[in-house]
Amino acid sequence: MTIPGTFYGLNIGLSGLNSAQAAQTVTGNNISNAGTAGYTSETADIQTGVPGPTTGPSDGNIASTYGGGAIVNTITRASNQYLDAQVQNAQSESSAQTALSTSLGDVQNSFNEPSTTGINAAISGFFTSIDNLQNNPSSVGVRSTVVDSAAALAQTIQTVQGNLTSNSASVASNITSDLNQVNTIGQQIASLNVQIQQDTAENIQPNSLLDQRGLLINNLSNLVNVQTISNVNGSVNVSIGSTDLVVGTTSDTVTLAAMQARGDLTGGSLYGLTQAQASIAGYQTNLDKVASTIISSVNAVQQTGMGLDGSTNIPLFTGTSASTIAVNPTLTNNPSELAAAAVVTPPATTPPPSDVSNAVLMGNVATTNQAALGNQTISNYFNNMITNLGGQTKAAQTAATDATASATQLTNQQASIEGVSVDSQMTNMMIYQRSYQASAQFISTQDDMLNTLINSIFGTS
């Protein structure tokens, strides 16, 4: 066996210094980025160096069996693609449910039910005023109260519908913003794919670029449901269902209409917002039904009766929907024209002041099942709508809470595997410090041995 020379020992000691220093640098980088979003913990993979040739006294070059020191072969990221995919799916679900529950909460606030100032109270107040009219039909003041309560009902319905319109506009704005973010992130991922692909081809580890791309994909999963496919050249394909967002180094501009037509959008805040938008439109349609039913059913009675002054065929409400319902200005200016009585038979021109037959019919509207409302009374239909809204909102809130808890659990698990543990890094720092010190001591010892050898050969006697 050939014994390696002293210079070979110096090289081994130097490799120990270099590998310990490199590992310490990686450790320092981990500690520096402990709070950096998207950063994945790195590890210096220290391996045994390839033994080099040594020179023996008579046999020339002989492969050393004493080892080749240590080298840092790679710096790896602590990534787990399966866990990453789970986190992304959980984030998509959490964001979708959160966006939906938040929007439905806003809808609930717009209705403001139950309350003394909501639509239900206004409906009750209106029909109560008609009941009062039946007890005192000759009072212009009571008639004014009926008109005023009708105006309050109309205004309350208009206000709620206006609030719902604002809710819908806000959701639409958020949808546009989310969709723009999706396409922007797609472009950024494609750009990073170009750089990562180049580094991979040159055998350069693009760890920082991979972290940036991973963070972008995580951000994207909050907006939409995401699927990724890794390519051998280092790039990654990103899709939303069957809709391609990124293919290698190329990004596509996706549209909401196309994704919805294919049924590709199933998660993320963008999906939750589209669900909320559809719900808001449904409640606006239902409120239009309530308003139009009030208008048509009350006017049908009002226009077939007679006012205190003998007036006929004067509608109480104008408009056709929740956004246009209002009180006829004619009755606002002259409440006597409110038709509490039946039309008289000529030659009479005005009804008896005590006639409340038409007011009774108008009051019966409150308890009449309306075909336009699924054979429900106006109040029952509205109350069922509010109950459904409450149930839908509660369900969305519960789903959001559960989905967020699941996402948090998976994110914490991901952080424990891929994130930086400062305690572990401090331990590593001490290990590499001791390794560096030991390698330096080894070199010092080799130097002493070399000095002894030189002095024994060339020293003076």
Structure tokens at 452: 């002894």
C-alpha angle with apex 208: 204 to 211, nearest 5 degrees?
A: 125
- d(CA 384, CA 181) in angstroms, rounded, equals 38
Residue 67 DSSP code: -
Residue 268 DSSP code: H
Would you state the pLDDT for residue 27? 86
- d(CA 124, CA 231) in angstroms, rounded, equals 66
Would you state the pLDDT for residue 58? 45
Would you state the pLDDT for residue 65? 62
Contact 264, 243 (CB under 8 A): yes
Question: For the chain, what are the domain ranges?
Answer: 6-78+419-458, 85-185+271-367
Would you state the pLDDT for residue 53? 58
Per-residue pLDDT of the chain (461 residues; tens, 9 = 90+): 555 666 777 788 888 888 888 888 888 887 988 888 888 888 888 888 777 655 544 444 444 566 778 888 888 888 888 899 999 999 999 999 999 999 999 999 999 998 999 999 999 999 999 999 999 999 999 999 999 999 999 999 999 999 999 999 999 999 999 999 999 999 999 999 999 999 999 988 899 999 999 999 999 999 999 999 999 999 999 999 999 999 999 999 999 999 999 999 999 999 999 999 999 999 999 999 999 999 999 999 999 999 999 999 999 999 999 999 999 999 999 999 999 999 998 888 899 989 999 999 999 999 999 999 999 999 999 999 999 999 999 999 999 999 999 999 999 998 888 778 888 888 888 888 888 888 888 888 877 887 887 787 876 54
How many alpha carbons fall within 13 Å on the CB side of residue 293? 25
Strand blocks (E) in 241-327: 243-247, 250-251, 305-306, 317-318, 326-327
Would you state the pLDDT for residue 50? 75
Question: What one-character-per-residue DSSP string does 393-408 give?
Answer: HHHHHHHHHHHHHHHH
- d(CA 320, CA 154) in angstroms, rounded, equals 11
Give the count of beta carbons closer than 10 Å to the beta carbon of residue 387: 11
Would you state the pLDDT for residue 418? 79
| Residue 285, H or E segment | helix 268-302
Q: Which residues pair with 250 in a beta bridge?
A: 247
First to last CA, the chain: 33
Q: Measuring CA to CA, which residue among 391, 179, 192, 173 is closest to residue 268?
A: 179
